[in-house]
Amino acid sequence: MYLNEAGSDLVYHEPIDFEYEPSGFLPKVENLKVRKWALEIHSLWKNLSRKVDDKVIENPDLYTLLPLKYPTVIPGSRFREVYYWDSYRVIRGLLASPMYESAKSIVYNLISLVDEYGFILNGARAYYSNRSQPPLLSAMVSEIYNRTNDLSFIKKSLPALLKEHKFWNSGVHKVKIQDSKGCIHSLSRYYAMWNKPRPESFTIDKESALKLLNDCDKQHFYRELASTAESGWDFSTRWMRNQSDLTTLATTSILPVDLNTYVLKMELDIAFMAKTIGDRLTAEHFLEASEARRTAINSIFWNTEKGQWFDYWLSNNCEEVHQWEAQGENQISFASNFVPIWIELFNSDDSTVKKVVKSLQSSGLLCAAGIATTLSHSSEQWDFPNGWAPLQHVIVEGLARSSLKEAGSMAEDIAIRWIRTNYETYKETGTMHEKYDVEACGKFGGGGEYVPQTGFGWSNGVVLAFLEEFGWPQDLEIGC
């Protein structure tokens, strides 16, 4: 049997909108050293641009790669195809570059997955057809529209967004819960349609399940592994009943703060887009849906005393309507507890923002080089001391959008720390990394089930987005 070399199903693509020194690039970056580095990151888009080889388009049944029609930008290293939630930060970087057509191409590919499967797969491989990833398609469409004012782009995108919303709000992903006042809310959870070892990590999953004695327990564990992969946080003690035992993953029994924030963003985006193209009924429907979810997020997740939104652990998956109980609230500090600050409904409320700023400052998550993902010292990659670009981005952007001065100062401070550690590590290693060790400036991250990856799509995108937002003064030192 002959197997093609890994990555041979994708070929290099020359992006049509790439310029080595685009006009108007990062106007707030005054420091020449930082500008030179930013242009080097910008040039990485050229290196990471790919398109599906014609042989895959002609014979799709012979390949695991999905025959996507448009060029794309890959994350890098072992991630040789498009990945769903990575794409949002890649697009934010492309918009800063500015490479609007490349950004649109990524969205068109993702829309084609919704058309084919009813949702966006974790990544563009046939073996990912059992799960999705954090839903950020609406945010991608919204950001591109904000730059281009392209109404036809919204019109092409809206049907896919409606389908994706249905996916996250029906079947196994939908959970009903009654709060302490007797009000019933609908929220979303991660739940992969799979109960076998993940094909892309088959051997690792089989080994992890060896301690489980019966097939039923193994199948349950495999579903939890795949559902955790759907969360993007694969893996973290956030999802474990016992923080030292991966087989106690319970992701399908958790209502996650961040997922429901992303679905709320989707509802707000759909309402805005529908209104923009004159679809009043759809706009009103999704405005009502967003109000209901905001109420649910505040009722089920928000802890006003702690100043954080906490994940909620369901006590029994068999109930049709779960009852909120105080012991279901997971009061451990995770970076995800602060993700709702990204949404204007929350960051425009000064009293909420004040509590969030104070809580983040005292949480222990704020480190020398950025925000730690959790405080748990495990060997999992979505735990301490790793910091990840998407979490820095969403929290910083939310704080920066607040009118509160201390929130804006905190946002800029975190962004500076993150930019510095990316710069210093780049200078040391010659590459951008997938994750960083936030305990000290200038260290890349480790842990998890594969070696640290470089490239790297979302890290590039977030650095460019931060430099676009905050700039870099001439007299501010860039090194650690």
pLDDT in tens, 4-19: 555 679 999 999 999 9
Residue 3: per-residue pLDDT: 41
A 10 A CB-CB count for 327 gives 7
DSSP 155-222: HHHHHHHHHHHHHHTSGGGEEEEE-TTS-EEEEE----S--S--GGGHHHHHHHTTT--SHHHHHHHH
- Residue 2: exposed, middle, or buried by beta-carbon count in 10 A (0-12, 13-18, 19+)? exposed
Q: Which two tokens stand for residue 224?
A: 């939890």
pLDDT of 188 over the 50 cut? yes
Both structure tokens of 264: 């709320």
**Residue spans per domain, the chain:** 349-480
Q: What's the CA gap between 86 and 49, in Å, rounded?
A: 14
Mean pLDDT of the chain: 96
Residues 341 and 348 sit within 8 Å (Cβ to Cβ): no
Return d(Cα 99, Cα 329) in angstroms, integer: 43
Neighbours of 36 (CB within 10 A): 10
Predicted local distance difference test score (pLDDT) of residue 1: 35
Q: One-letter amino acid identity for 48?
A: L
CA–CA dist 446, 452 (Å, integer): 6
pLDDT in tens, 252-264: 999 999 999 999 9
Q: Is pLDDT at 454 greater than 80 in this prediction? A: no
Greatest pairwise CA separation for the chain in angstroms: 64
Q: Is the pLDDT of residue 157 over 80?
A: yes
Is residue 272's pLDDT more than 50?
A: yes
**List of residues 6+ apart from 99 with CB closer than 8 A:** 15, 17, 18, 45
Site of tokens 């693509």: 13
- Residue range 38-73, pLDDT digits in tens: 999 999 999 999 999 999 999 999 999 999 999 999
pLDDT in the model for residue 6: 55
**Active-site residue among 434, 437, 468, 469?**
434
Asked if 58 is an active-site residue, the reply is: no
Name residue 12's beta-bridge partners.
50
What's the CA gap between 330 and 93, in Å, rounded?
34
pTM of structure: 0.97
CA separation for the pair 361, 374 (Å, rounded): 14
Q: Is 150 annotated in the active site? A: no
- Which residues make beta-bridge pairs with 52? 10
Instruction: Using DSSP, state whether 338 is helix, strand or coil.
Output: helix
d(CA 398, CA 324): 28
Is the separation of the CB atoms in 448 and 474 below 8 Å?
no
Q: What is the CA radius of gyration of the chain?
A: 21
Strand duo 254-255 + 370-371: pairing: unpaired
- The three-class DSSP label of residue 401 is helix
Lookup: tokens for 470:
């905050």
Catalytic residue, chosen from 224, 234, 311, 383, is 234
Where are the strands (E) in 247-377, listed by range? Answer: 254-255, 302-303, 308-309, 312-313, 321-323, 366-367, 370-371
